């Protein structure tokens, strides 16, 4: 489809080749997960293509948007790893003209996940980013197998293992990541 090809070009223009190839692999994984889980594959494709659109923007670009849009000032205490999703969604809206709120929310949540309100589309993007075929961390094949059985069990696996890694490195935990953890470890399924 022509509009997807145009979107892909705009994303490519913002990213290093290395990261653009990651985005293409996330797209492929997300479309498969969407089809397997009753999620609209067209929404998943667009969300995956734009999820890291803002990842290579400067800190000053993000800070300017946070201030101009009067976003939560606590955002200023974090960095690119949080900004590229939460603030990136604003850039995707304003610069790419993407207005679908489900897609914008999936981008906002792609790094931290979310609790009870996390949509299936958002779960698909969260997992595709973690599992795309270029990922090779310890446990990735276990995580892929779990997610193939159950998207929700995959979300739980990811948030537990990502938080454990961040705690071990003594990295600050973004409150939304803790909210995600608390919801998914309590959830019965
Ligand atoms: O953009 P990607 O590299 O494809 O992946 P991502 O957006 O899922 O993750 C970006 C980084 O954010 C990754 O190194 C893990 C880190 N991260 C995720 N949750 C938290 C976090 N870092 C901190 N400090 N706190 C968090 O809660
Ligand atoms: Fe990301
Ligand atoms: Fe992620
Ligand atoms: Fe990514």
- The model's pLDDT over 59-72, given as tens digits with 9 standing for 90+, comes to 999 999 999 999 99
Classify residue 157: in a domain, yes or no: no
Cα(135) to centroid(ligand 4), Å: 10
Structurally, the chain folds into a number of domains equal to 1
Instruction: Look at residue 68 and tell me if it is in a domain.
Output: yes
Please, which pLDDT band fits residue 2 given cuts at 50, 70 and 90? low
Given a cut of 90, is residue 151 above it in pLDDT? yes
| Long-range CB contacts for residues 10-17, cutoff 8 Å, separation at least 24 | 10/96, 11/49, 11/50, 11/53, 14/53, 14/54, 14/56, 14/57, 15/52, 15/53, 15/55, 15/56, 16/56
In a domain, 156, yes or no: no
Is 182 domain-assigned? no
pLDDT at 1: 60
What tens digit of pLDDT does each residue of 95-119 get? 999 999 999 999 999 999 999 999 9
Q: For a substitution probing ligand 1, which of 24, 53, 111, 166 has the most ligand atoms within 8 Å of its CB? A: 111
Residue-wise pLDDT tens digits, 8-57: 999 999 999 999 999 999 999 999 999 999 999 999 999 999 999 999 99
Query: What is the model's pTM?
Result: 0.97
Q: Residue 54: which CATH number?
A: 1.10.3210.10
Residue 169 lies inside a defined structural domain of this protein: no
């Amino acid at each position: 489809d022509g509009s997807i090809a145009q979107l892909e070009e705009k994303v490519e223009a913002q990213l290093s080749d290395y990261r653009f190839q990651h985005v293409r692999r996330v797209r492929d994984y997300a479309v498969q997960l969407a089809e397997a889980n009753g999620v609209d594959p067209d929404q998943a494709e667009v969300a995956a293509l734009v999820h890291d659109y803002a990842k290579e923007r400067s800190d000053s670009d993000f800070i300017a948007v946070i201030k101009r849009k009067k976003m939560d000032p606590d955002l200023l205490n974090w960095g690119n790893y949080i900004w590229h999703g939460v603030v990136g969604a604003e850039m995707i809206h304003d610069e790419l003209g993407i207005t679908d709120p489900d897609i914008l929310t999936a981008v906002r949540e792609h790094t931290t996940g979310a609790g009870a309100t996390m949509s299936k589309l958002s779960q698909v993007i969260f997992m595709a980013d973690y599992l795309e075929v270029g990922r090779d961390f310890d446990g990735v094949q276990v995580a892929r197998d779990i997610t193939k059985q159950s998207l929700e069990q995959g979300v739980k696996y990811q948030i537990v293992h990502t938080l454990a890694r961040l705690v071990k490195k003594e990295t600050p935990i973004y409150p939304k990541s803790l909210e995600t953890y608390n919801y998914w470890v309590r959830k019965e399924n």
